[in-house]
Amino acid sequence: MSLASKSHIKPVAIAVVALVLGVGTAAFAVNEDTEAPPRKDSTTFERARYRTPIMVDGAPGSSLEGIGPAVTAKIATYVAEVQATAAANEQARLEAEIALKQAQAAELERQGAVLQQASRAVASSGGGSTSCAIPQYICDRESGGNPTVYNHQGSGASGKYQFMPRTWNGYEGYANAADAPEAVQDAKAAELWAGGAGCSHWSAC
């Protein structure tokens, strides 16, 4: 037997001895179930990294896929809140506008009633003229029927009926009677005249 043949016999003999001794051939065989760890390329690494549990609204989520419904729900809630706030603001604006219109209508109605009262006072005054809300002779003596006249002698009286400042008292938003339209002055005079009961407001009466 040649030396080369002897070199091939030696490993076989060792294997036979090991089998006999119960060592088995595991040391000399490759385990088929054992595989080298897969190489983590960039795609595998990114997937593994983003599948790490995360927190969604204070509670751990399973993965990135779980964020979708939670975010959608939060957006829907936010949109609903914004819409509700906008609706409430619009309702408040409309209510305020309606209240303003009602107040303006009430003021116009009040002014109309005052003017009607002045007209009735003129009709019942018997002054012989409908240009004065009280007896005509009082207007003639006080101002000569001039609604823009001022008394420059220190009393501060002004207007067609020579209202004193404390009597006029900013009526209808006018600081002085002479600044107010003649119809407004007539209305104030009719209120003061009160069918004759307020005659003492004028020295000429």
**Using one digit for the tens of pLDDT, what is the confidence trace for 109-139?**
887 776 666 666 555 544 434 478 899 899 8
Average pLDDT of span 9-26: 46
pTM of the model: 0.40
Q: Return the pLDDT at 183.
A: 92
204, HSE (Cβ side, Cα atoms, 13 Å):
15
28 has pLDDT over 70: no
pLDDT bin (cut points 50, 70, 90) of residue 184 is very high
Burial class (CB in 10 A: 0-12, 13-18, 19+), 164: middle
C-alpha 14, offset from chain centre = 93
Average pLDDT of span 141-170: 90
Q: Return the pLDDT at 203.
A: 83
CA 191 to CA 21: how far, in whole Å? 135
63 has pLDDT over 60: no
Q: Is the dihedral of CA 27, 30, 33, 38 positive or negative?
A: positive
Q: Return the pLDDT at 106.
A: 87
- Alpha-helical segments (H) within the chain: 3-20, 42-50, 67-125, 136-142, 165-168, 182-193
Percentage of the residues of the chain whose pLDDT score is greater than 70: 59
> Which residues have C-beta within 8 Å of that of residue 176, sequence separation ≥ 6?
150, 158, 159, 165, 168
Rg (CA), the chain: 54
SS3 170: coil
Q: Return the pLDDT at 122.
A: 55
Average pLDDT of span 91-112: 89
E strand or H helix at 56: strand 54-56
**Using one digit for the tens of pLDDT, what is the confidence trace for 39-55?**
555 444 445 444 444 44
List the domains of the chain with CATH numbers.
112-197 (1.10.530.10)
- Beta-ladder partners of 61: 54
Q: Return the pLDDT at 126.
A: 45
E strand or H helix at 36: none
Percentage of the residues of the chain whose pLDDT score is greater than 90: 36
Average pLDDT of span 85-97: 94
